[in-house]
A and B are shown apart, each in its own frame.
Chain A
Amino acid sequence: MASHPQAPGESSNTLGSPSAPGWQGIANDWASDKEAFKQVPWGKAMMWIFLLSDTFIFTCFLTGYMSVRMTITTAWPNPSEVFALTIAGREIPLILIAIMTFVLISSSGTMAMAVNYAYRRDRAKTTALMLATAALGVTFVGMQAFEWSKLIAEGVRPWGNPMGAAQFGASFFMITGFHGLHVSIGALYLSIVARKVLRGDYERSGNYQNVEIAGLYWHFVDLVWVFIFAFFYLW
């Protein structure tokens, strides 16, 4: 590690430095006494670190839910029945949640393509796909609002409900509420970045990384939903 091929301060050279395989590469990168995350723009690294902290928040919620569910002395309401909808006279279990899942996955798909078109500098397609993503996000929040009002009308409150364990409401409103807040903020965030794409801000700076960074946030929201869907709705 003693020999430094680049002259000090010549950071542009490090951009092209190849990554040694495995642990050697990790040790080299961390021990290089310069930036740790080479080839990773700082905005992207910071977004990842923010998402890491968000992971801790959501996991704390889900762990709290797990603790409650493992220690209650009354029966937990059956999510399959609580979230069932009657469509055409037939009760279909969990159907709204399934549709919400598909909507969010679709929004992740359009976002991934938006990032791709952004790096190809196709502004019209990028903007359209990002706005489609935001629209799907708003649809998701709308369906969540419908679900909340349905449960509130049925008497579910954070401190109790007619179906079973009192902690059901607290867990439900806390977890889905915090996730819905993330989706809402994400839709706003994407709209702002989409406007900048359309206006040509990134064309002038020659750097479309902000689209990818916004995409990271959006995919994370989808990722969190995968865990909520599995642990809260299916368990």
Chain B
Amino acid sequence: MMAHAQGQQHPISLYLKIWGLLFVLSTLSYLVDYFHFHGYLRWALIITFMLLKAGLIVSIFMHMAWERLAMVYAILVPPLCLLVLVGLMATEADYVFLSRVIFFGQ
């Protein structure tokens, strides 16, 4: 029998645990809205739960945790460019907003 080199043979209980964790994290992020948290607390909680969920899905469900680093970095590094795009757009937002205020104010 061909041994599976990637080591993708994990006990089912691992997947059930991650599934449970994702349920808990989703419930928590829903409760953020349900209890009307506002301001920085709300944003911090939303981002934290989001990143935890994304991390669990990518590392365990998509088996990224067991891939070779050459593969992991080839996939995870390019999206950092997107952070630059987000940064650019966010920096530009004030200017666009002011232009709109002036334009619609006339």
Contact = CB atoms under 8 A, between A and B. Distances in A.
A38 B77 CA distance: 19
Contacts of B18: 109, 112
Given A37-B71, A71-B97, A226 B19 contact: no
Contact of A219 (B6, B26, B61): B61
Interface residues of A, number: 61
A21 B6 CA distance: 16
Contacts, number: 157
Name the prevailing secondary structure of the B interface residues.
helix
Contacts of A55: 79, 82
A234 B43 CA distance: 9
Contacts of A222: 57, 61
Given A25-B69, A226-B54, A229-B29, A73 B101 contact: yes
Interface string A36-69: 1111100001001101100110011001001100
A71 B100 contact: yes
Contacts of B65: none
Interface in A2-43: 15-16, 19, 22, 25-26, 29-30, 36-40
A221 to B, nearest CB: 10
B2 interface: yes
B41 interface: no
B8 interface: yes
B94 to A, nearest CB: 8
A45 B42 CA distance: 37
Contacts of B58: 219, 223
A118 B96 CA distance: 52
B29 A223 contact: no
Counting from the closest, the 9 A-B pairs by CB-CB distance are A109-B19, A70-B93, A230-B50, A29-B70, A71-B96, A112-B15, A59-B82, A71-B97, A98-B30
Interface of B: 2, 4-6, 8-10, 12, 15-16, 18-19, 22-23, 26, 29-30, 32-34, 36, 42-43, 46-47, 49-50, 53-54, 57-58, 60-63, 67-71, 73-75, 78-79, 82, 85-86, 89-90, 92-93, 96-97, 100-101, 104
26 contacts: A37-B71, A37-B74, A38-B70, A40-B67, A40-B68, A56-B82, A59-B79, A59-B86, A63-B85, A66-B89, A66-B90, A70-B90, A70-B97, A105-B22, A105-B26, A116-B12, A215-B61, A216-B62, A223-B54, A227-B50, A229-B26, A230-B29, A230-B46, A230-B47, A234-B29, A235-B43
